[in-house]
Structure 1
Amino acid sequence: MSNILIINAHEPYPSSPGRLNATLVERASALLSERAHRIRTTVVHDGYDTVTELEKHRWADVVLLQTPVYWMGVPWTFKRYMDEVYSAGLDGTLCHGDGRSRREPSRQYGSGGTLTGKRYMLSLTFNAPRAAFDDPAQYLSRGQSVDDLFLPMHMTFRFFGMEAIETFVCHDVMKNPDIENDLMRFDAHLEQHLAGYS
């Protein structure tokens, strides 16, 4: 079937040790392996080798990024991973620079990706409730969606030529958790968008 790279971007803190993100990674690995997909994983907090990570991205048909949302973005350790691994991939491994060329001035910024035909999926865990998004009356988001908030991450993968799979979100995981339902929704999301993918 497909090669799937699952990245666990969680950075543990006393208030957030990472059990839910680890559970989602384990669950995705088990379910997708049962469907004959080949799985590789990276746990950013455990350390990584840049060359190996680039090879994993080239190998993967799908990259599943499993991450908590800290201060409306990814944890700092995953941002460092991006700066180190993705910057090293500018050599043509992930993209040919930013895609522009003096010989072809019509080429657009961000169009140099070499991972065309590959896909990615964001799976996010939030303390924010579902109601905090997509509603202009909400104080913080003012009507923006979760995908609006994560536009920089979407643009990063688009920079490599990849296409998005629908984002999955667990909301309100600290103040009002419904983990059993979240896990069932996650399984259904994987079944719908990834399990039958080849």
Structure 2
Amino acid sequence: MNVLLVYAHPEPTSLNGTLKAFTVEHLQRAGHTVQVSDLHAMQWKAQIDADDHPGRDPSVPFHASLDSRDAFRTGRQSADIAAEQEKLRWADAVILQFPLWWFSMPAILKGWVDRVYAYGFAYGVGEHSDQHWGDRYGEGAMSGKRAMLVVTTGGWESHYGPRGINGPIDDVLFPIQHGILFYPGFDVLPAHVIYRSSRIDEASLPGVLEGLGARLDGLASDPVIAYRRQNGGDYLIPALSLRPELAEGEAGLGVHLAL
């Protein structure tokens, strides 16, 4: 497989740096081809702005989505955006690796999504009708590709358990897994979460790496999260609400799983 690792941590000697190096070596040893987008090393520009559309008319007010659409359509995107899009086209699987900071991904990784997921590339594609509301949530440019999060967090696993104070980890990561990965068509594997990251030492690190290695070995074959496809018949269009006879009487994020 071709695997793209998008990595967001500023310190190469950190636990995340160790996990990144292990991931690349482990995948390559298994015969996969790996590219790494190390966002801090690349000095990735996080903010989306008019500079992302070289040659645009400066007299026209900047509009993030419309400028993104026009730049993508005309082939006038900034070079760093186009290069990351080409990596996504190349990849069979994508791993986003990051520390969980304030219940989300670091700003530099969110900026990668904001800029690389251009209008016409990752969203705003497909017909809109009474039967089909765009190619998204199970369809789109990333269809047929797999994706997985590798996340470190300082909190205990129980803090992110079903009754944990931080909320269930699947709910915390839902906007990323369902909204950023499943939306443009990725088949999303359950996240690999490493808890109590600050407590990992030389004695516990081998076990952590062994667990990560097992997940990497299943990148091509492990079952993916059974999200409901938007255009598969489970949702009313154009309301995009789950049909009332499905998960009857239930609400919340879990209803979007086809169990």
TM bin, normalised by shorter chain, reads 0.7 to 0.9
CA RMSD in angstroms comes to 2.2
In structure 2, relative to structure 1, the CA distance for the partners of 1:99 and 1:33 (3 Å cut) is same
Secondary structure of residue in 1 paired with 2:211: helix
1:128 aligned to which of 151, 155, 160: 155
Give deviations 1:53-81, integer Å, cap 9, x for gaps: 00000100000111100011100111111
2:170 aligned to which of 147, 150, 155: 147
Give the aligned partner of residue 5 of structure 2: 6
Give the aligned partner of residue 23 of structure 1: 18
Cα offset, 1:31, TM superposition = 1.1
Alignment of 1:14-53 (within 5 A): 19-47=14-42, 48=44, 49-53=80-84
Gapped regions of structure 2 (runs ≥ 5) = 45-79, 223-259
- State yes or no: 1:160 paired with 2:191: no
Q: Is the 8 A contact 1:6 1:42 kept in 2?
A: yes
Secondary structure of residue in 2 paired with 1:56: helix
Cα offset, 1:184, TM superposition = 1.5
Give deviations 1:127-165, integer Å, cap 9, x for gaps: 0111112232x3332xx2x12111111121111111112
- Cα distance in 1 for residues equivalent to 2:159 and 2:125: 35
TM-score normalised by length of structure 1: 0.82
Secondary structure of residue in 2 paired with 1:23: helix
Secondary structure of residue in 1 paired with 2:197: coil
TM-score normalised by length of structure 2: 0.64
Gapped regions of structure 1 (runs ≥ 5) = none
Cα offset, 1:18, TM superposition = 5.8
- Identity in percent: 28
Give the number of aligned pairs.
181
Query: Which structure has the higher relative contact order (CA within 8 Å, separation 6+)?
Result: 1
- Cα distance in 1 for residues equivalent to 2:214 and 2:165: 31
- Cα distance in 2 for residues equivalent to 1:82 and 1:20: 23
Secondary structure of residue in 1 paired with 2:213: helix
- Cα distance in 1 for residues equivalent to 2:13 and 2:112: 18
- State yes or no: 1:174 paired with 2:198: yes
